[in-house]
Structure 1
């Protein structure tokens, strides 16, 4: 199932280039008991219940064309945005050879440097623009497969990792180049794009060999396949959960391949993943 959030926080199902309004299925989510509110995403935590309700309301749902709606992030309240640096060998080589990327910092292998967190306040959907700050610096695009965690767990073994995945989406891990720590430079408002929708794990099937590519103003920039990940999907989940508990709605950005490059206000980024779809993201000035 392809599930989206759109327009004024509507819940939708995407079929044949149309978005069907199934917002009433959100009634399947139990109301929070009160303050403090849960620190995970309630839609993902109750996804099975919501999907059952969706099936009931979908036959009579109204719809709009995909190009008529504004896509929000499919996850409204992630507890964490986890990201994997230099997780494609050719990008590691690229980062080490290009001073505009490494800024005299040592670029270590992912097994040594580990993962990092992006601020949840940086998250937007495909229908919202990336707003560039720090115009005196290079601001780069990075296309990534995004994993949405569905079941909580800590110290998850890689052989059990697939059971913890609710869905997949397309991610853009935008970044300001500079000498500061990654988490700061990649946590700028609007610098974590997720969308245009999420594809549930049962519909996605095998995610280990997904082709994907990115263009800027129709110019080819990045093209790769998830089979070339240094740490694959189960290994990333095992690695992340060895340090902190993963909760429903947490998102793991799995890393970007070679071809990262700058964008500027007025540009349009197109990001496409096999089995997921395509999204267009505008670039504006903050």
Structure 2
């Protein structure tokens, strides 16, 4: 099932080139009260939502996919976690570039086989979430901002100290993620947490639709030029290990996102650029890059 958020918070079911409006399924959500449980409302109530969507889909109003405005399918994860330098070729080919390195990254990664084990995960602000329709707004026009396409893993149930063997049972599904990055020497969380610097979409795809999340091809184009193209099988630390690692420090909650790292080919974007991304089984989307100050 591919669930999306469109046209001012409508709930949609993507089927091919159509979006079915199943917003009535949101009626099953419990009323929000003070001290609401941590997590994204969609994922906290996913079983109820899915059952209601199935009931509604036959008679649901239908819209052409090209005519709707998609936002991030997730609205309130308790946290966004991200794996640094999790593709070997990205480290070998990209990390040492002068525009990326700033005298910090290449030296820190030299001889490190599994950067996650040494440097851990970093957090991105949940306020950085955006979708296709919002696009990316450059916040530091005097600095280089890069695209980084990633497979985003969405947690489906609460857990702490999760074992590798149990890890995949905590996955609710997947989406395409963009970890937009201002280059510089500051902490990653600062340079990657600006508003609109975590683009998710086009939909949240439930785990049952993805046979092997480590065998997906993902690609990114800027103005029609393909820059990134790799299999998720090339990641250094796989999804079960990332979940186990993260849950040693944090309790994971429904809707939490783990960005699994980016492959080689990262590069800068500028206001006016058109970015298109695609991933097997997860669909594709495109968004504009603009300047926050111009907007």
TM-score, length-scaled by structure 1 = 0.97
Q: Do structure 1's residue 129 and structure 2's residue 135 form an aligned pair? A: yes
Structure-1 separation of matches of 2:222 and 2:42: 33
Structure-1 separation of matches of 2:180 and 2:93: 17
Counterpart of 1:5 in 2: which secondary structure? Answer: strand
After superposition, the C-alpha distances for 1:11-34 in whole angstroms (9 at most, x for unaligned) are 0000121000000101122223x2
Counterpart of 2:55 in 1: which secondary structure? Answer: helix
Task: State the match for 1:241 in structure 2.
Answer: 247
Contact 2:135–2:199 under 8 Å retained in 1:
no
- Bigger drift between 192-201 and 108-117 goes to 108-117
Task: State the match for 1:191 in structure 2.
Answer: 197
Contact 1:4–1:11 under 8 Å retained in 2:
yes
Structure-2 separation of matches of 1:192 and 1:130: 8
Counterpart of 1:107 in 2: which secondary structure? Answer: helix
Counterparts of residues 43-54 of structure 1 (less than 5 Å):
43-54=42-53
Task: State the match for 1:59 in structure 2.
Answer: 58
Contact 1:149–1:167 under 8 Å retained in 2:
yes
Task: State the match for 1:37 in structure 2.
Answer: 36
Structure-1 separation of matches of 2:93 and 2:247: 28
Q: How far apart are 1:36 and its partner, in Å?
A: 2.4
Task: State the match for 2:19 in structure 1.
Answer: 19
Q: Do structure 1's residue 181 and structure 2's residue 187 form an aligned pair? A: yes
Structure-2 separation of matches of 1:64 and 1:128: 20
Q: Which residues of structure 2 form unaligned runs of 5+?
A: 110-114
Q: How far apart are 1:95 and its partner, in Å?
A: 4.1
Q: How far apart are 1:99 and its partner, in Å?
A: 2.3
Q: Do structure 1's residue 280 and structure 2's residue 286 form an aligned pair? A: yes
Which of 143, 156, 163 does residue 150 from structure 1 map onto?
Answer: 156
Contact 2:72–2:200 under 8 Å retained in 1:
yes
| 1:89–1:36 distance in 2 versus 1, CA, 3 Å | same
Q: How far apart are 1:208 and its partner, in Å?
A: 1.2
Task: State the match for 1:107 in structure 2.
Answer: 108
Counterpart of 1:169 in 2: which secondary structure? Answer: strand
Structure-2 separation of matches of 1:233 and 1:2: 21
Structure-2 separation of matches of 1:41 and 1:178: 32
Q: How far apart are 1:107 and its partner, in Å?
A: 3.0
Structure-1 separation of matches of 2:42 and 2:141: 37
Task: State the match for 2:28 in structure 1.
Answer: 28
Task: State the match for 1:201 in structure 2.
Answer: 207
Q: How far apart are 1:218 and its partner, in Å?
A: 0.5
Task: State the match for 2:144 in structure 1.
Answer: 138
Structure-2 separation of matches of 1:122 and 1:211: 25
TM-score, length-scaled by structure 2 = 0.94
Q: How far apart are 1:96 and its partner, in Å?
A: 3.7
Counterpart of 2:202 in 1: which secondary structure? Answer: strand
Q: Do structure 1's residue 167 and structure 2's residue 173 form an aligned pair? A: yes
Q: RMSD in angstroms over aligned alpha carbons?
A: 1.0
Q: Which residues of structure 1 form unaligned runs of 5+?
A: none
How many residue pairs are counted as aligned between the two chains? 285
Contact 2:94–2:266 under 8 Å retained in 1:
no
- Bigger drift between 240-249 and 98-107 goes to 98-107
Contact 1:96–1:107 under 8 Å retained in 2:
no
Contact 1:144–1:172 under 8 Å retained in 2:
yes
